[in-house]
Amino acid sequence: MNVLITGNSSGLGLGLTESFLKQGAIVRGLSRRGCPLKTAHHSDYDDVLRDELVDLGDLNKIENALESVLSDAYRLDLVVLNAGLLGKIEPLHQTDIHDLEYLYRVNVWSNKVILDWLIKQDMPVAQVVAISSGAAVNMHYGWGGYALSKASVNHLMHLYALEMPDTHLLAYAPGLIDTDMQSYLCEDVDTQVFPSVERLVNARGTKAMPNSTTAAQRLIELLPTLRANYPSGGFVDVRHL
């Protein structure tokens, strides 16, 4: 299996990378910090883990990174557009427009650049999963930039499904995952001001908020079902399956 994963330096992206590698897949990663599995301590992965450092918010550098990490690839079985930023939980009218602009470059426009490059290269891609969120439809107070960008990801998949008829594309909300993002949400955000965060605080440390490895394995198990049972371009929330 040949897989491309963005944002595989931590969280769900790292969990997916490790799980796929253990299954014998070739994994190609794009991230700002680099995948920690690409070290001397994991030499068994040297031949199957290609990793390229790139700030996905710098849109002009993505194509060169793709050319490098996919130089020996003729097709991709799966692309996971996972890289994303949360931004600050704050009222939208207080959010700096430049912060929103950068967040959109990472969360939305980097995905467009990647899909455009794959189309231009005429590279066969079987399945694309863009990591979305329940925030894309809930639109809770304080989640402005993140919610807007994830809603845009949902629509991006719908639109590209019309332009990539031989590829199955889906926006996928993986549910709550215990990552560094949750550390900020559960420890630094005032739940009195932003009550939607209280649910996350209560879920942390329970089965309702699994770690990234468990969430990654869940997604991998669901991939055949998602492709077979859900129309290309749609949005699926794992909590509704």
* pLDDT recorded at residue 224: 97
* pLDDT recorded at residue 46: 77
* pLDDT recorded at residue 180: 86
* pLDDT recorded at residue 45: 82
* pLDDT recorded at residue 57: 97
The ranges assigned to domains in the chain are 2-177+212-240
* pLDDT recorded at residue 47: 82
Residues 220, 226: Cα–Cα separation, whole Å: 10
* Pairing status of strand 125-131 against strand 76-81: parallel
* pLDDT recorded at residue 44: 73
For 65-73, the CB contacts below 8 A with 24+ separation are 65/30, 66/30, 66/114, 66/117, 69/4, 69/28, 69/29, 69/30, 70/4, 70/28, 70/123, 73/2, 73/28, 73/123
Residue pair 130/149 in contact (Cβ under 8 Å)? The answer is no
Decide yes or no: CATH 3.40.50.9100 for domain 2-177+212-240. no
Q: Average pLDDT, whole number, for the chain?
A: 95
* pLDDT recorded at residue 43: 63
* pLDDT recorded at residue 125: 98
Q: In the chain, which residues have pLDDT < 50?
A: none
